[in-house]
Structure 1
Amino acid sequence: MDDAKKCALEIYHNTGRRPTVEEMKDGFYWLYAPRTQESIELHKNFFTLTGDDYEDVCKNFLASDPVYLSFEDFLKDCGI
């Protein structure tokens, strides 16, 4: 989570605006994405990384719980 917050704050300080989900990259998506098939379809590239089994990644994602209720909650926790 510390790395995700650092990334969000770096984007904010460098651009003067809040980061987007796409700018935050795939490694942080699990922190705040709703656990739905729609989330997978919306950001399919986050689930098709080289060397990962797509079906296994999706299954684990849907079975897990996000740290934050939403991306907005994550940004609020970052203070932006």
Structure 2
Amino acid sequence: MGDLAAVVAARGVPAQEVMDEYARTLDRLVDPVRHPSLCWLRESGRLGTPDEPDHDFRFGLERVLDGVEALARGASA
């Protein structure tokens, strides 16, 4: 179970409400000078919508497979 799903299940609130609260917390805590990319991502609206349940797993798996591919390319060079 993903973090968002766990919070939704534990608190019994809609996923969008949890995401809105997360966004407000980021707005309070993130310094745009120190973390401009995170601020850009926050302002883009991409952090404001819940992902599909398997998004985090697939994203992580794709990064692992990217690393395996890079390693294999380096070994064959």
TM-score between the two structures when normalised by the length of structure 1:
0.26
Higher relative contact order (CA 8 A, sep 6+): 1
Give 1 or 2: higher helix fraction: 2
Q: TM-score, normalized by length of structure 2? A: 0.27
